[in-house]
Amino acid sequence: MEKFTAFFKSSWEEITQHVTWPPFNELQSNTTLVLVGSLIFALVVGVMDFIFENALNLFYQSF
C-alpha cells in the first residue's frame, strides 16, 4: 500500500508542478479545430456512403 500512495503522491506532484499546461484560449482554439475537422470528416464519409449506396442500388436494379 505504501508504494501505491507514493505513486499517487509523485504523480500529483508531477501534474501540478512539472507539467506546462497550455493557456485556456489555446485549448479553445484546438478544440474548435478538432470539432470542425471531425464534422468535415463525418460529412465526407456520409457523402461517400450516400454515393456508394445509390450506385450499388442502381447496379443491382439493372439485373
Query: Mean pLDDT for each 10-residue chunk of the chain (63 residues)?
Result: 93 92 95 98 98 96 89
Q: Is residue 43 part of a domain?
A: yes
- Provide the domain limits for residue 44: 26-63
pLDDT of the residue at 63 = 83
Rounded CA-CA distance 61/12 in Å is 63
pTM greater than 0.75: no
What CA–CA distances, in Å, run from 43 to 6, 28, 33, 34? 48, 22, 15, 14
Into how many domains does the chain fold?
A: 1
Q: Is residue 39 part of a domain?
A: yes
Grid coordinates 500500500 are at which residue?
1
Q: Is residue 44 part of a domain?
A: yes
Rounded CA-CA distance 22/43 in Å is 30
pLDDT of the residue at 30 = 97
Q: Is residue 5 part of a domain?
A: no
